[in-house]
Amino acid sequence: MAEFFRVEGKSMLPTLRSHDVLLTFLPQNIKKEDVVVVQTHLGLVVKRIHEFHGETVILRSDNNVIESSICNTPIAVEDVVAKVHWRFRLPLSFARL
Amino acid sequence: MFRSLRTVSAHCDIPCKVYDPAVALVSALSVVRLIDLILEIESPSSLANIAQLSRLVAEKENQAKIVKLEVSTIWGDYFKAPQIERHPGVHALVHQIMQTASACKQGVDRVAGEHLVKQLNEFAEMFWSSKGIATKMVVAPYPPALRVCMPALEDG
């Protein structure tokens, strides 16, 4: 199933900016370096998979100068709710992730 | 098919966290400087000297507390399983820093202060190494002019 998300925040710069719209699909065959939407105690968060360990993943932000408490700690794969495939931005541009 | 548009957070954190052992290092240098200033007071007999001594001692304790707070925050919040796996000595080092900082609060032993700076340099090197950032040793451009570990960053 496809779902659109709107991005808020700077932690995924330069890949994603605030107000970008993401087209996602259910997470199938996720792997290292995929950009994913994760359900966390902070709510829905978009991050990149830094390490993939089968049942858990380690996330990271693309913006290296800042840290997030959900990064560098194991996250259950079942908490990955979507995989980002396309990014749309105004003025109109899009990129496949 | 398509569901309604939901918001997904790409915030750095709630709240944002920016970690840097430099704060603890500056406080450790301050501890050494304050010990030097305390030792320079020849006689605490005058009221002015007693007031100055009290002020220096209070600030020395405050700076040592900052060291403990900053280091324990980085250790507790930043260091997670992957970093600890790569730097298993972090627990022992942080414990030693806590003890040395306490010793600096309790006394006026300059050697303890210098030891605190040395331990913080090890901690800073470990911290930056965990981020894949090289470090360099530089002499602080202010008293007590001790050597400190800084990240070797590229020009912006």
C-alpha B52/C-alpha B57 separation (Å) is 9
Residue B66 pLDDT > 80, yes or no?
yes
| Among the ranges given (A22-26, B7-11, B58-62), the one the predictor scored with the smallest mean pLDDT | B7-11
A68–B3 CB contact, under 8 Å: no
The better pLDDT of the pair A8, A94 is held by A8
Give how far B135 is from chain A: nearest CA, Å.
Answer: 16
Model pTM score = 0.63
Model confidence pLDDT, tens digit, residues B141-156: 999 999 999 999 988 7
| A window 68-97, beta carbon within 8 A of B | 68-70, 72-74
Chain A: residue nearest B15 by CA? A68
Instruction: Indicate which CATH number applies to the domain containing A68.
Output: 2.10.109.10
Distance CA B46, CA B52 (A): 10
pLDDT band, very low/low/confident/very high, at B14 (cuts 50, 70, 90)? very low
User: Residue A74 is part of which domain span?
Assistant: 2-96
The string of DSSP codes covering B6-64 is EEEE--S-SS-B---THHHHHHHHHHHHHHHHHHH---TTSHHHHHHHHHHHHHHHHHH
Q: What is the largest CA-CA distance in chain B?
A: 84
Q: Give domain limits for chain B.
A: 22-147
Residues of B in CB contact (< 8 Å) with A are 1-3, 5-14, 16-19, 77-78, 80-83
B22-147: CATH topology: Four Helix Bundle (Hemerythrin (Met), subunit A) (1.20.120)
- What ipTM did this prediction achieve? 0.78
For residues B83-97, average pLDDT: 95
A45 with B9: Cβ contact below 8 A:
yes
Each residue's pLDDT tens digit, A17-69: 999 999 999 998 899 999 999 998 778 999 999 999 989 999 998 987 666 77
